[in-house]
A and B are shown apart, each in its own frame.
Chain A
Amino acid sequence: MTAPRAVPPDPAVRTAPDMPSGAPDAAAPRVGLFVTCLVDLFRPTVGFAALKLVEDAGCRVAVPDVQVCCGQPAYNSGDRADAAAIARQVVAAFEDVDYVVVPSGSCAGMLREHYPRLLGDDPAWAPRAHHVAARTWELVSFLTDVRGVTGVTGVAFAETVTYHDSCSGLRELGIRDQPRRLLASVAGLELVEVADAEVCCGFGGTFCVKYPEISNRMVAEKAAAITATGAGTVLAGDLGCLLNIAGKLSREGCACRARHVAEVLAGMADVPAIGEPARR
């Protein structure tokens, strides 16, 4: 496990709400938002929530045009050549910003922990990969550990929720307390812990379709544990896990909904939950 790097927070941007949104200061750090392919395709709201949270934390946000996916499907399938090609594309697109922020522990972990390894043997790209890796943060960890955000104000979510720690965020990036700290500042929100929160939900990228029966057992147990908390909504920081969990909860007829933690923190939880029909 990698401990989060200690970056002294700038006292001027101690809490998010003090910063006027959408009025970027020229001295504010420039953040490149890596949206991720799943957020792009399935849940744009998460991308806009991330954008708002990062802007509220006093940053200027750019969304580089040349971005699709971090390359994990290739990397995790042994296709290193394609994974490296995708990694070079991402590195080139993001090397000019001060920080790369990703609303996913899994994709952030890919950039931060695996790109240096993947491009490590390439003398032209290794330093560039290290440069981007050292600036890459998962969204919530960026808010708390880099920007020193201690809470959100003016945000309400009157529900009992539980939080699923996605594996890469938890074990590769050391993210556990950060989302819980921020959620504690959401008005009306009560957090109950799920049993075995640190156990994988069975998504695993291509794993869930390569070994569907095993994945199903894992997500069935996760769904049962979540249901047992009595929470109305399960939150997590990774859309892959959330699609898996939401899909199982609805298939099993469970009433519990699923949302990305950024939606709640940004006050954007007025859109239907993941896998819920649009309200008429």
Chain B
Amino acid sequence: MQTTAHAFVEHSRAALADEQLRRALLNMKPGFQDRRAQSVARLPEWEDLRDQARALKDHTLAHMDVYLERFEARVLESGGHVHWARTAEEACAAVHGICQAVGAHTVTKGKSMVAEEIGLNPYLEARGLVPVETDLGEYIIQLRHEPPSHIIAPALHLNKEQIADDFHRAHTQFAAERSLAEPRALCDEARLVLRQKFLAADVGITGANFLIAETGSTVIVTNEGNGDLTQTLPRVHVVVTSIDKVVPTLEDATLILRLLARSATGQEQSAYTTFSTGPKRPGDLDGPEAFHVVIVDNGRSAILGTEVQDVLRCIRCGACINHCPIYAAVGGHAYGWVVPGPIGAALDPAMIGLAEAHHLPNASTFCGRCESVCPMKIPLPRIMRHWRDREFEAGLSPAAQRRGLRLWAWAVRRPRLYRLGAGVAAATLRLLGRRRGRLTRLPLAGGWTDWRDLPAPEGETFHRRYARHKRAA
């Protein structure tokens, strides 16, 4: 996916001015936050599960090579194929090669953030293939030629009226005057359209929530059933996934499954949890004739062993995004790359470069709500701070800001001098705000006073008043 993360400030301004987006983002509290909280409250062992899952993933990351090779061996044993891709380009080429080899024209796709990351759809389209997204949210944004705005709810930024307009525009095969006011009508219409696509597809592409080294299975977690139709109806099933998805055993996958849906949507389990192991065997009633797994690195192995390695524990539940007040203000598109929110702020600088993504780890108050809900206990604020350190070290932060900071720090280390300045500042601000107790405008402080008043100080600093009291005593 083409990044526009450098334009975060411009994007966020536009997003803040978008009233429709604001209404759409309000759905996160009842839709995600409240449901997660209820679901977690019903599970007394929640914190234990988080600790176990963190330990499991840390172990897996420390032995990733072993588990990936074991996974590959099991896939081959079950009659499948494994393709290793170092880069997005290699991954796209591998998928295209598979499609070409079977003379594919139409491919159906289940939701895959790795496919978004590597820009699979434009790659295939440029080579004459027609990829059709079958997850409802992904299907909607494909019609709109937009990237996803959320990793589990790609069309979160839209309201149903906008989707109805899109369907009226795109589905010209139906009567123009039909009503699409009810969400049910939208679902029914999408189902009708997509059913034909499922049956016509030559290749089905899905992502994977887990790769199980013990069995060579890939796992997808869905609520619409589209993933199952995508992977069982066409002749060929291609799984596009990344190296960090591997877990050692089936049992390990079930541990993380207990955390995943609860963290994401508050469900105990998603409607469908589908395990795929190899192609159709003799005697199987259905399933693909060929099973390919494309395992993408695309910068992840370079994160191993660094201070940000913990981001690779991420299971893409979206809980940090759902609870982030910054995301709630600006939505996912402002972040400018495939993974938004706190996990994006921690991950994206490693994936697309700090110079490009430098705003993302800065646009945080370090409120820590993301870390508190992360099922994998990823220290997201600490990782964002790490990126700020690297940014400062590399001299990427604005020069005026750096100079101001150095000057302030210089003064702080000279308390007597600082106190003189603070005394003057307190008295001056007091004088300026005397009549109303607050300042509505202050030169050089427009970042504050454009939006809110600056309460005036009481007038005398604490240290001066304290010294006066002590002398009097």
Contact = CB atoms under 8 A, between A and B. Distances in A.
A237 interface: no
A216 B16 CA distance: 10
A78 B452 contact: no
A275 B412 contact: no
A200 B405 contact: no
Contacts of A75: 385
Interface of B: 9, 12-13, 16, 29, 325-326, 329-330, 362-369, 371-372, 385, 388-393, 397, 401-402, 405-406, 408-409, 412-413, 415, 418-419, 422, 425-426, 434-438, 440, 445-448, 450-458, 460-463, 465-466
Contact of A68 (B369, B372, B418, B435): B418
A202 B365 contact: yes
A208 B434 CA distance: 24
A40 B461 contact: yes
Nearest to B388: A78
Interface in A262-280: 271-272, 274-278
B452 A248 contact: yes
Given A200-B365, A211-B363, A247 B389 contact: no
Contacts of A212: 446-448, 450-451
Interface residues of A, number: 71
B447 to A, nearest CB: 3
Nearest to A244: B452
Given A40-B422, A243-B455, A275-B437, A214 B409 contact: no
A251 B409 CA distance: 31
A248 B362 CA distance: 23
Given A212-B447, A218-B365, A277-B435, 6 more contacts: A43-B457, A68-B418, A73-B405, A210-B363, A250-B438, A250-B455
Given A210-B447, A213-B12, A251-B453, A40 B409 contact: no
Contact of A82 (B366, B406, B440, B465): B406
B436 A277 contact: yes
Nearest to A242: B455
A276 B437 contact: yes
A183 interface: no
Contacts of B389: 78, 80
Give the 9 A-B CB pairs with smallest separation, nearest first.
A204-B365, A78-B392, A275-B455, A209-B447, A247-B452, A78-B388, A82-B409, A277-B437, A200-B367
A78 to B, nearest CB: 3
- Give the one of A44, A167, A205 with max B CB within 10 A: A44
B375 to A, nearest CB: 15
B437 A214 contact: no
A162 B28 CA distance: 24
Contacts of B406: 79, 82
Interface in A26-51: 35, 37, 39-45, 47-48
Contact of B372 (A42, A73, A171, A209): A171
B451 A248 contact: yes
Contact of A171 (B369, B390, B450): B369
B451 A44 contact: no
B455 A42 contact: yes
A21 interface: no
Nearest to B411: A68
Contacts of B445: 209
B438 A80 contact: no
Contact of B325 (A86, A89, A200, A271): A200
A44 B460 contact: yes
- Give the one of B329, B367, B393, B456 with max A CB within 10 A: B367
A182 interface: no
Contacts of B455: 42, 243, 246-247, 250, 274-275
Interface string A109-125: 00000000000000000
Interface stretch (A59-67, A134-142, A146-154, A185-193): A59-67
Contacts of A85: 409, 413
Nearest to B368: A171
Contacts of A233: none
A218 B389 CA distance: 25
A22 to B, nearest CB: 10
A213 B437 contact: no
9 contacts: A40-B461, A74-B405, A80-B392, A82-B405, A167-B368, A171-B368, A199-B325, A247-B453, A277-B436
A251 B392 contact: no
A77 B326 CA distance: 18
Contacts of A211: 9, 12, 362-363
Contacts of B371: 171
A79 B447 CA distance: 21
